Copies of this chain bind each other. A is one copy, B any other.
């Protein structure tokens, strides 16, 4: 089932390259992380504002402080695809060299930290342990992307929506009273469906008693087992 929804690209010291490292390397790692945090600058954005656009120079990466960010791509004929949603503590924009391949936008009001690429590179040269940390964040994104490829390639509409609700619940660490910051349209473009299908599936889940929908941006997971059964992967 879907237990390994990555907890996002939060700072995490105990992983692949590090977890057998000597104590010395480990304390170096911690110090390096502090140094990393210090090269970041704060930036506030309001609802629907663009953080960067497709085609912009990719000269930095970001970490969400508060709010929700979406990473998306527009096709020539207007079809939209949302590659990822990012919540507080998660990082984005590490990928792509040179030009941005996707754009990043604020779903609601958002605060992010921006880490300039050059400063990051210099810091990595200075403290090579950091490369391992960056690598880990990328590995997490990759694991998440693979889970989503399975979802987009082989799951039915209800499986996708159930999956989405459970993912939200895991990532935001809420068991029942889920708040859903993004619009139905965003959800649809994230799941490779249409807004109507998303609505219909949600209504169906409601009728079956798996969820209730006090308001469009608030969903109660009454019966998680039912949702988990709907995923069935």
Can you list 14 A-B contacts (CB < 8 A)? A4-B101, A17-B134, A20-B121, A21-B125, A75-B150, A95-B143, A101-B146, A102-B146, A128-B128, A131-B131, A131-B132, A131-B135, A135-B138, A148-B149
A168 adjacent to chain B (CB < 8 Å): no
Q: Which of B22, B25, B81, B132 contacts A149 (CB 8 A)?
A: B81
Q: Which of B20, B118, B129, B146 contacts A83 (CB 8 A)?
A: B146
Q: What is the count of identical protomers in the complex?
A: 2
Write the A94-138 contact mask toward B (1 if CB under 8 angstroms, else 0).
Answer: 111100011000000000000000100100110011011011001
The interface of chain A, by Cβ under 8 A from chain B, is: 4, 15-17, 20-22, 25, 73, 75-77, 79-81, 83, 94-97, 101-102, 118, 121, 124-125, 128-129, 131-132, 134-135, 138-139, 141-143, 145-146, 148-150, 152-154, 189, 191-192, 232-233
B contact residues around A189 at 8 Å (CB): 153
**A96-B143, A149-B152 are known contacts; what are 19 more A-B pairs with Cβ within 8 Å?**
A15-B97, A17-B121, A17-B124, A17-B125, A20-B118, A75-B150, A75-B233, A76-B233, A83-B150, A95-B142, A128-B132, A131-B135, A134-B135, A141-B142, A142-B142, A145-B146, A152-B192, A153-B192, A154-B192
B contact residues around A25 at 8 Å (CB): 125
| B75 and A154 contacting across the interface, CB-CB below 8 Å | yes
| B141 and A132 contacting across the interface, CB-CB below 8 Å | no
B contact residues around A135 at 8 Å (CB): 131, 134-135, 138
A227 to chain B, nearest CB (A): 16
Q: How far, in whole Å, are A141 and B143 apart by their CA atoms in the complex?
A: 10
Q: How far, in whole Å, are A16 and B131 apart by their CA atoms in the complex?
A: 11
